[in-house]
Amino acid sequence: MNDKIEFDLSVYAPKEFQVVANGKLDTVTSIDDRNIWFFDMQKPMSSYLAAFIIGDLRVDVINSESGTPIQLYYRPEDSLKAEPTYRHTKQIFDFLESEIGVPYPWQNYKQVPVRDFLYAGMENTTATVFSEAFVVDSIGFNDRNFVNVNAHELAHHWFGNLITETSGMHHWLQEGFSTYYALLAEKEIFGEDYFYWRLYQSAEQLQMLSDEGKGESLLNPKASSLTFYEKGAWALHILKDMIGEESFKEAMVNYLNKYSYKNVTTDDFLNEVAKVYDGDLSVYKKNWLEQTAFKADAAFQYLLRSDFINEFFKISSLREKIIEDKIEALDKALELSDDFIGQEVVYQLEGEDITKTIGLYKKAFNSGNLYTRQAIALSTSTIPAEIKERYESLLTDESYITIESALGNLWANFPKERTNYLDITRNIIGFQDRNVRQLWLALAVITQNYRPEEQLAHLDELKSYTSSEYSFEVRERALGYVNYFNWWDEPTLINLVEACMHHNWRFKKTTRTYLRLLIEEGNYNEQLLKIQDVLDADQADFLKNRFIEAGK
């Protein structure tokens, strides 16, 4: 972090591939079967930010208001998803430049989605990479869009890349600041209610941690992400509130300019704040940066200036009341047609006597609000006949979360209609992990007499998703279905052992558990021993050791 140098990378790559790296592409020359890509940087940076990406990529180029070229990469087969994936990018870029008050400090900006990435995103200077899971179509955008990560990684280009922490003790100067500015960018795009909602969510999480006695100081280098990101962002919202917007911005500009391309500590930042603020900062420093507990009272005072939050609290305070005493209030709340209040109302109906809540459910369905309707799909697994028809209309909502949940619930509740439900949803893929498609395939296989001539093809397609041809998100779902229904065979067992060696530790953990239980149960041990010949040496060794471990 403390060793900043100017990186000019040259990358040799097969001719059919594109290369992306830090800085500006200078030239591409060809030697034999390779191209050499020369990249030029003009300013120094820390080495953890050096990166290059090689792949079969297409690119769309836009320009920020200030003239910085922004290159948006995607796989050729995802060309229709480029627009929804990168939606609002120019607005985010322009907003951050103006809000931070210091021009974007690098030659250009590039973003590249990559498969099997370990994190949501990584802010390599001018060459951000992010998880392919954020590559979405317009429907996926409603549930799982890239906007927050997009803004967060871009904000790092000031906080982290332009000025860098001297050590982990000052990590909040990067993560807290980027989280703070990303939420401001989201406020610009999604509005003030969304802004307060996200703040409320993080305050709740921080308060819970704090109440359990597990609160952490922002300056603890071993603190959790929740502390560095969310508590860090809160510390800035509170600071801006305390010293005023103008002084806050002035301090930020001075701080960034003074330490550009250098390293910083928390005191470097606070000293700049002290120069523009007459009051005493010591209490602030103690309460928000040093102490382990989260100042929930102050946070909730901040939230209560939002009319929307007041309205939400009024409804959420009804949770403990019996249904008869709150029907009227819930009914009125649905009229607001608000995303979050509508969800809260629906969750309060869960498990109540349907004869009393039927009117509210009908109203919630009719609200047309995507997220209110989604809450019904997620919270009502037993579907009363009175709302069957309305519930079926969820299958065509513009949300893959809603469709997946509604399909599973309808299939389970109304066996006579299974063919109908499967026909309605047979062309839907879903998110990058093919959530709807994979559920559909599993249901199509186990539904008696559903397209019997295609049954084998459906099972084969589902099993094929366990292979390393696909991202770990796709494989994780497919292996889950194969495991649940005991559809193991030699190819899927080979894919399972291969998955146990994956670099993503969560995926590896899940698949290793599957394998351990399979060996303990013993039903597939003969086949597992047979596949040893086709595994590579590491995989075969690994498998052999699992048998020894299980005492078999």
- The residues binding Zn ion (CB under 5 A) are 175, 178
Of 107, 110, 137, the closest CA to residue 121 belongs to 110
Which of 151, 269, 279, 178 lies closest to 232, judged by CA? Answer: 178
Q: Is the Cβ of residue 48 or residue 542 nearer to Zn ion in the bound state?
A: 48
Tell the smallest beta-carbon distance from residue 120 to Zn ion (Å).
8
Q: Are 215 and 294 in contact (CB under 8 A)?
A: yes
Whether 370 contacts 341, CB under 8 Å: no
HSE (side-chain half, CA atoms, 13 Å) at 550: 18
**Which amino acid, one-letter code, is at 58?**
R
Nearer of residues 37 and 172 to Zn ion, judged by Cβ: 172
Residue among 236 and 439 whose Cβ is closer to Zn ion: 236
Least distance to Zn ion, CB of residue 349, Å: 38
d(CA 273, CA 267): 10
Pick 233 or 479: Cβ nearer Zn ion: 233
Between the alpha carbon of residue 510 and those of residues 116, 131, 479, 519, 547, the distances in Å are 15, 19, 10, 15, 18
User: What does DSSP say about strands 18-21 and 52-55: parallel, antiparallel, or unpaired?
Assistant: antiparallel
- The string of DSSP letters for 403-457 reads HHHHHHHHHHH-GGGHHHHHHHHTT---STT-HHHHHHHHHHHHSTTSSGGGHHH
Q: Choose between 161 and 178: whose C-beta lies nearer to Zn ion.
A: 178
d(CA 343, CA 341): 5
Closest to Zn ion by CB, 149 or 428: 149
Q: How far is the CB of 298 from Zn ion (least distance, A)?
A: 25
Dist CA 282 CA 549 (whole Å): 57
**Considering beta carbons, is residue 123 or 216 the nearer one to Zn ion?**
123
Q: Following DSSP, what letter does each residue of 101-146 receive, concatenated? A: -S---SS-EEEEEETT-SSSEE--TTEEEEEGGG---HHHHTTS-S
The alpha carbon dihedral of 43, 47, 48, 50 has a sign of positive
CB of 177 to Zn ion, least distance (A): 9
Which one, 104 or 284, has the nearer CB to Zn ion? 104
For residue 176, the minimal CB distance to Zn ion (Å) is 9
